[in-house]
Amino acid sequence: MADSDRLQLVVTTPEKTVLSTPADSLQFPLYDGSIGILPKRAPLVGRLGYGELKVTIGSEHKSYFIDSGFVQIVDGVVSLLTERAIAKDDLQRSTAEEALTAANALPASTDEEYAHKLREQERARRMLDIVS
């Protein structure tokens, strides 16, 4: 594949750039579903959800947990701005299970507390999906 037929992926957290690499295809969670991206994609701005970023580079596949944020696609450059991006190999099942236990223990006596609890449960479940 020629370089013009590749995407340029940049994943950035508040602390650092986690990943900057050419890619043949991507899949990642949006706030309201998932999306797959191929080269020459029309421009897009979207809100990220929680879940798995799948990156295909030739025959190699990489996977990351993405923790909400925003995506922008312009001229073949896919920029993901996220709170956290953790490589699948760095995720531990015990950490995800602890996050779910902590989320389940959150109080939910107001609408705001209930919404927060649901978000934390969803985040932990998506992390568990990746490590399973």
My answer on whether 7 and 29 are in the same domain is yes
- pLDDT digit string, tens, across residues 58-104: 999 999 999 999 999 999 999 999 999 999 999 999 999 999 999 99
Q: Smallest Cα–Cα separation from 51: which of 95, 84, 21, 22? A: 84
Residue 4: per-residue pLDDT: 66
pLDDT band at 31 (very low <50, low <70, confident <90, very high): very high
My answer on whether 82 and 24 are in the same domain is yes
* Residue 13: CATH number of its domain: 2.60.15.10
What mean pLDDT is predicted for residues 7-18? 96
**Range of 56's domain?**
3-88
Tell me how many domains the chain contains: 2
Indicate the pTM of the whole model.
0.88
CA distance 33 to 64: 17
My answer on whether 16 and 42 are in the same domain is yes
pLDDT band at 3 (very low <50, low <70, confident <90, very high): low
- Collect all residues with Cβ–Cβ distance below 8 Å to 118 and sequence separation of at least 6: none
My answer on whether 72 and 57 are in the same domain is yes
